[in-house]
Structure 1
Amino acid sequence: MKMSIHGKQLVITDAIREYAESKIGRVEKYHDGIIELAVSLSAVRLKTGNYHTAEVLAYLGGSTVKATCTEEDLYAAIDQVTDKLEGQLKKHKEKIQDAIRSREPIVRKMKYNPDTMVVEKEAAADVVKVYLPPKPMSIEEAILQLEILKKVFFPFTNADTGEMNIVYKRKDGDYGHIEPEKK
């Protein structure tokens, strides 16, 4: 992880740099996708007094997380921006993990074995087997079988081409036919 520390209207001393690197560097354990941290420390004089602002941009793979904090003491601003950034990184990581978990059941890889004429789902313990009828048939016969068996789709060996085809019932009531691409 790369970290760059810049000062605006503020001289970054070695003590400030070491403190910021040690404090802000610990956020790396909360998200493993951090590519770079850009830290900007600034000093502002307002009517109510002198204030220090610490701003951190965390560049992740494809997104950016920003945390900003303003305090009278620079070290307190660094502490608070670190706490804010930790919370945001935890929340971002949980969002990504939830999205991955919600997509898991949808993704299923199917594999057709032409030797056994079986369509199998590639998974650890769950194997869905669909047996093709032994005799080749025409598309019309396959549609009849689809209706008789009351299935949504019906794989079969096409009598004309000798290859596996699929007929299915569409939502509009018509039938669809899937065949391999001809080379």
Structure 2
Amino acid sequence: MKLFIRGRQITLTDSIKKYAEDKVLKVEKFNDSIIKMDVTLSAAKLKTGNAHVAEILVYLSGSTLKSRATEQDLYVAIDRAIDGIEPQLKKHKEKHSRAKVQDDSAKKLYSLTNDENFESDEKKLVKVYLPIKPMDVSEAILQLENLNKVFFAFTNVETGKMAVVYKRKDGDYGFIEE
């Protein structure tokens, strides 16, 4: 993880830099996908008097989180900005771990076991589940290829109806929708 601490309209002393760095590095434990963190410390004049602003930008893979705090004391502003970014990082990590679990459970639905195959008058009846997430036709074709199946049933994102893509004998793809 890269960490950048900048001062805007303020002189950053070693003790301020060290304090901000120590606080920010403690936040890293809440999410392991942090790429870069920018901390901007500045002084501002408000109607109520002078104030200090601490702004933290956290760059994750695919998203950016931001927290900003304005206080009379710079150290308190840093603490409040850290307190604002922690729940965001926790929520982001939880959201991605839930998405991964949901994705893994969707993959399990595709793997057919012998318990799901039923013998009925010399013909097999195979139970097939639709994926949880609706998708478009091109994504369904990719799934068909990745799973190495003859056909793939899915819910069409454009129409909301059940649809099937299949590989034809001539190498092209067919598409059936209810």
TM-score, normalising length from structure 1?
0.63
1:73 aligns with 2:73: yes
1:3 aligns with 2:3: yes
1:40 Cα deviation after fit: 0.5
1:95-153 Cα shifts (integer Å, max 9, x gaps): 1111122222211497xxxxxxxxxx38xxx566869xxxxxxxxxxxxx6xxx67678
Taking the TM superposition and a 5 Å limit, the aligned residue runs for 1:36-51 are 36-51=36-51
- The equivalent of 1:60 in structure 2 is 60
Supply the AA of the counterpart residue of 1:52: H
**Given the superposition, is the C-alpha separation of residues 82 and 127 from structure 1 closer, same or farther in structure 2, using an over 3 Å criterion?**
farther
1:181 Cα deviation after fit: 6.2
* CA RMSD across the alignment: 3.7
Question: Counterparts of 1:49 and 1:15 in 2: how far apart (Å)?
Answer: 24
1:176 Cα deviation after fit: 8.4
Unaligned runs of 5+ in 1: 111-120, 132-144, 154-163
1:67-118 Cα shifts (integer Å, max 9, x gaps): 11110000000011111111110011111111122222211497xxxxxxxx
Structure having the higher helix fraction is 2
- The equivalent of 1:97 in structure 2 is 97
Supply the AA of the counterpart residue of 1:6: R
1:3-48 Cα shifts (integer Å, max 9, x gaps): 0011111111111100000011110000000011000001011221
Question: Counterparts of 1:176 and 1:11 in 2: how far apart (Å)?
Answer: 63
- The equivalent of 1:31 in structure 2 is 31
**Percent identity for Structure 1 against Structure 2:** 41
Q: Which has the larger radius of gyration?
A: 1
Supply the AA of the counterpart residue of 2:50: N
Query: Is the 2:117–2:127 Cα contact (8 Å) retained in structure 1?
Result: no
Query: Is the 1:165–1:180 Cα contact (8 Å) retained in structure 2?
Result: no
TM-score, normalising length from structure 2?
0.65
Unaligned runs of 5+ in 2: 129-148, 154-160, 172-178
Counterpart of 2:107 in 1: which secondary structure? coil
- The equivalent of 1:20 in structure 2 is 20
**Given the superposition, is the C-alpha separation of residues 45 and 181 from structure 1 closer, same or farther in structure 2, using an over 3 Å criterion?**
same
Taking the TM superposition and a 5 Å limit, the aligned residue runs for 1:30-179 are 30-108=30-108, 121=111, 178-179=167-168
**Given the superposition, is the C-alpha separation of residues 92 and 176 from structure 1 closer, same or farther in structure 2, using an over 3 Å criterion?**
closer
**Given the superposition, is the C-alpha separation of residues 180 and 107 from structure 1 closer, same or farther in structure 2, using an over 3 Å criterion?**
farther
